[in-house]
Amino acid sequence: MQGQHLTQFLISEQRRVGGTGELTLLLTDIAGACKGIGHEVNRGALAGNLDSIGSHENIQGEVQKKLDVLSDEIFVNSLSWTGHLAGMASEEHDEIIPIPEGYPRGKYLICFDPLDGSSNIEVNLSIGTIFSVLLAPNDNPTAEDFLQPGTQQVAAGFCIYGPTTILILTTGNGVNGFTLDRNVGEFILTHPNITIPEDTSEFAINMSNHRFWEAPMRRYVDECVAGKSGGREKDFNMRWLASMVAEVYRVLMRGGLFTYPMDEKLKTKGGRLRLLYEANPMSFIVEQAGGMASTGRERILDIQPVSVHQRVPVILGSKNEVARLVAYHLEG
């Protein structure tokens, strides 16, 4: 059913499963935070939001831009007082973020990347926010309590700030997309029951790392580049935006394969993308839409995390192409 406001949709789902309403309220608060971030993204250079913060780096060793810090502040300030969370973990913080004294604590944990793809800020390409919701084992969580496999996620989503602002959401019952109607300030259901085609002729990868990839990855990409001339049944197109939210959104809309594989430069780090607040929520979304997500050797959602900022290789998208690439990895 199209035309539903996000809150209407969430309440309908809550009634269907007999929920208490706590998750509905949390997801509504997350949507509000995304509206705030989207507003600052749209203001861009008019508000000085595109500047870098000197040489300051976050825990990931990445130079922070003003919009990175501002997005993180908006997310934390929007959620810390609501009473739905017991703790938070952000890409921009070394340690987990406790709920301030004086505020009630809820039964959920959230892991988030407040501004994915921020290297694209100054060139006006799509960026976004990614989040993962888990159950909290207690109301005073430690970092270890966040180390839950992706199969334990209660909800996951991302908001993409592009020509339109779109919120993609799953609570484990399929994937739906909501477009922000700025005239009324509401997210409206515009993409119900998103399904990823099983086959694709499109892949997204940073081709400049070709020489550093493992042999299975080089084999797969070389075959795609050769297309019909190299033995595949079709020719392929390649895409790369350096923004995971944009790449995954394209996969959801028309199929495709997105990968940031292991390479020689990343071995000591374990991979490029962070498990808890990038790989896990995106894998949950992709699987709920009928796709597949893997490191090449194991299902991402089955990984037992060992640290909040753990990194992993990521291969996700249309099921048949991901399965082919996984088979190449398992062959050795």
113 is in an annotated binding site: yes
What gap in Å lies between CA 181 and CA 249, rounded to an integer? 19
116 is in an annotated binding site: yes
How many CB atoms sit inside 10 A of residue 201's CB?
Answer: 17
What gap in Å lies between CA 322 and CA 39, rounded to an integer? 36
Three-state SS annotation for 12-64: HHHHHHCCCCHHHHHHHHHHHHHHHHHHHHHHHHHHCCCCEEEEEECCCCCEE
Which residues, in sequence order, are CB contacts of 202 under 8 Å at separation 6+? 236, 237, 238, 239, 250, 254, 255, 256, 257
- The two structure tokens encoding residue 6: 């996000």
115 is in an annotated binding site: yes
119 is in an annotated binding site: yes
What gap in Å lies between CA 179 and CA 188, rounded to an integer? 5
206 is in an annotated binding site: yes
Q: Cα dist. 201→177, 239, 328 in Å?
A: 24, 11, 18
User: Is 174:194 a contact under the CB 8 Å cutoff?
Assistant: yes
Pairing between β-strand 292-294 and β-strand 257-260 as defined by DSSP bridges: unpaired
Written as one letter, the residue type at 330 is L
> Annotated binding site for substrate: which residue ranges?
116-119, 206
Known binding positions for Mg(2+): 91, 113, 115-116, 278
Instruction: Specify binding-site residues.
Output: 91, 113, 115-119, 206, 278
